[in-house]
Structure 1
């Protein structure tokens, strides 16, 4: 009888061990991040800290899990921006209430703790007790094209030493060959973190489909018919250095948008990110088309046309022919985010107006916001305004 009891107890103990192991396994799951690291995550995630300029938070909003955010890593996500520009006539004009679409949709984000901006506050991060930290390399907090950058690696090691699960994403500028569709991989990883793979895949496919339409329309343009396009940042920092603005070389994601997706030609054929050029150098390039990018602020075409400090560029063909358009306001857009199809469409409309004359950019934007964020038309209009793209609707009615 005693032997029977011992055998029974031993069997029961083994069963408990097996069941306990199974339960422990069920409490965790594995996500492979951009590094190829298998990250163990709790099955239930309720507290998330992000170090990102909007991509991660935007995808979380689409997936419906943005309420899990307890801390963010970019002040640009939390800010409402206003800019005033002088004119040669002596007046001024203003752009007001510009912001990241994520903030417009989730205004409470402005009240979240900011744990990183110029470097990570590891003590503040640990104090938030996150279930997971999602860090995006290539964004402004960790702007680099080298994923082995010493500062990046130290930050990764420090966060992991705190015992906090860390999912690392690589932006499209972190690879030897820039490829905007790497963003789809990031979206899928975020979907896996929250168990929302199907929604994430749908989002990635929609974004890619918008760009595929552009690629298909322009893929047969011959080299001699390709206009030169300059993505130009009217950066005040560049002007302080004696330059006219910043440009993006052939090894950048911006050049990839021009040459590989829109099938035009980058007017700047050297290499480098945020290269400061003088007015003389820009005049020598004399691009057919100029597309103004976010660069230490928002820059509308009117600034290039009317600001006193740009009267030395009025002889540019793009200026004389009024072939200057602006990308959406994307604060701290050191690498592209989920709005990247808008950038590509703006470049395409500027480079090949005849090929895209059937697309009403103002309405296309509303459709884009509605499809990506699942909002109604009125909210889509507010998002268009928040990114200072209402000029597209005004152009359609003029």
Structure 2
């Protein structure tokens, strides 16, 4: 009987052992497959390209105007390993809130020239090496597919959009970026912030009768540098958000435009706003100089009544959306004072910068506000001496 027990027991033990080993091997294989699958995700970028990217990458770079601004909005600017050339330049004027809030950008290595003119060779020498490249304005500079091929690094193309007619592109860019870096919740917070703020501006002014609205005009709008008084924006967002009577309004013209002097004189706006970027010129091409010295402009109602106000520049390496909103509240207080009596402009602007670029630190938001207001020779949000 003892011999029989051994014949039965040994095969049984071997069978159990083999099952346990097989089970352990099967579990290891599944876990590795799961871990590998979780290392990357596949996203669709703004060009409709399918791009495989690491999950929540630690190291990224931002190419093209506005890409690093959006990363800053998502509070993930500490993941960059290098910057494009504009971030390290020492300029006399640089009213970009996201850069003011992050002076350390100037200390990073440069991976290419601004406006998307990347240098693949420099990118490949970065240490640590970026795991993802965010590319704004794919038609500018290096082609995303070619850049990805040359570097072997996933390139995610984005469309910057704007706050008026291309707001969906703007939100899509924030959401795609948020998906890639694992900041989906923050992306939704930023989208909600813009929607809520624009809705507040609109609700305050939407029922003002047309006959009670003051006519207005904004001049000196920047576009790739300073311009004179005739440079305006027919769909100037601060005017749209406050339902203002922009004398130059043209729903078909979605960008800055150079209007004729005759048109401005014919419109004769009651209130004039001047984008302070124009004061960079410091010569006869400045809108301020023109208002002070051009005999024709001296006859304008707003000039004669001293109703000329300086506003923050917002077209500076793409649109600075926080400055757009701050300008809108200022325009609202000037054009509809009874509707904005509860708004402290300084506090509101600080809140905007605190949320978008200050990581919730009010002191950081205040520092950005102070620098933005005093960037130029004329303080923003004040009457101009004309």
- Which category describes the TM-score, using the shorter chain as reference length? 0.7 to 0.9
Q: Gaps spanning 5+ residues in structure 2: where?
A: 1-10
Aligned to 2:76: 65
Partners of 2:373 and 2:381 within 8 A in 1: no
Q: How many residues align?
A: 355
Q: Note the alpha carbon deviations across 1:207-233, whole angstroms, 9 max, x for none.
A: 322221111011112333333332322
Partners of 1:215 and 1:262 within 8 A in 2: yes
**Whole-angstrom CA distance in 2 between matches of 1:171 and 1:318:** 35
CA-CA distance at 1:202 after TM superposition = 2.1
- Where 1:198 maps in the other structure, the secondary structure is helix
**Whole-angstrom CA distance in 1 between matches of 2:168 and 2:239:** 14
**Whole-angstrom CA distance in 2 between matches of 1:237 and 1:34:** 24
Q: Gaps spanning 5+ residues in structure 1: where?
A: 84-97, 143-148
Superposed, 1:191-206 pairs within 5 Å as: 191-206=178-193
Pick one of 200, 218, 222 that aligns with 2:209: 222
Query: TM-score with structure 1 length normalisation?
Result: 0.73
Matched, 1:115 2:119: no
Partners of 2:171 and 2:191 within 8 A in 1: yes
Matched, 1:358 2:342: yes
- Where 2:329 maps in the other structure, the secondary structure is helix
Aligned to 1:91: none
Partners of 2:55 and 2:180 within 8 A in 1: no
Aligned to 1:367: 351
Q: Go from structure 1 to structure 2 and tell me whether the alpha carbon gap of 1:389 and 1:64 turns closer, same or farther (over 3 Å shift).
A: same
Matched, 1:213 2:220: no
Superposed, 1:218-367 pairs within 5 Å as: 218-233=205-220, 244-250=229-235, 254=236, 256-259=237-240, 261-270=241-250, 271=253, 273-293=255-275, 304-305=287-288, 310-312=293-295, 313-330=297-314, 332-367=316-351
Partners of 2:274 and 2:287 within 8 A in 1: no
Q: Go from structure 1 to structure 2 and tell me whether the alpha carbon gap of 1:102 and 1:351 turns closer, same or farther (over 3 Å shift).
A: same
Superposed, 1:19-38 pairs within 5 Å as: 19-38=31-50
Aligned to 1:101: 97
- Where 1:221 maps in the other structure, the secondary structure is coil
**Whole-angstrom CA distance in 1 between matches of 2:382 and 2:153:** 49
Partners of 2:220 and 2:287 within 8 A in 1: no
Superposed, 1:40-59 pairs within 5 Å as: 40-54=52-66, 56-59=67-70
**Whole-angstrom CA distance in 2 between matches of 1:289 and 1:311:** 18
CA-CA distance at 1:245 after TM superposition = 3.4
**Whole-angstrom CA distance in 2 between matches of 1:331 and 1:386:** 17
Q: Go from structure 1 to structure 2 and tell me whether the alpha carbon gap of 1:171 and 1:60 turns closer, same or farther (over 3 Å shift).
A: closer
**Whole-angstrom CA distance in 2 between matches of 1:248 and 1:134:** 29
CA-CA distance at 1:325 after TM superposition = 2.9
**Whole-angstrom CA distance in 2 between matches of 1:272 and 1:367:** 28
Bigger Rg, which one: 2
Q: Note the alpha carbon deviations across 1:130-173, whole angstroms, 9 max, x for none.
A: 21111222xxxx7xxxxxx5x57x62222232332122221225
Query: TM-score with structure 2 length normalisation?
Result: 0.75
**325-334 vs 377-386, which deviates more?**
325-334
**Whole-angstrom CA distance in 2 between matches of 1:371 and 1:32:** 28
CA-CA distance at 1:182 after TM superposition = 4.6
Matched, 1:82 2:96: no
- Where 1:322 maps in the other structure, the secondary structure is coil
CA-CA distance at 1:117 after TM superposition = 1.7
Partners of 2:270 and 2:307 within 8 A in 1: yes
Pairwise CA RMSD: 3.8
CA-CA distance at 1:356 after TM superposition = 1.4
Partners of 2:62 and 2:134 within 8 A in 1: yes
CA-CA distance at 1:299 after TM superposition = 8.5
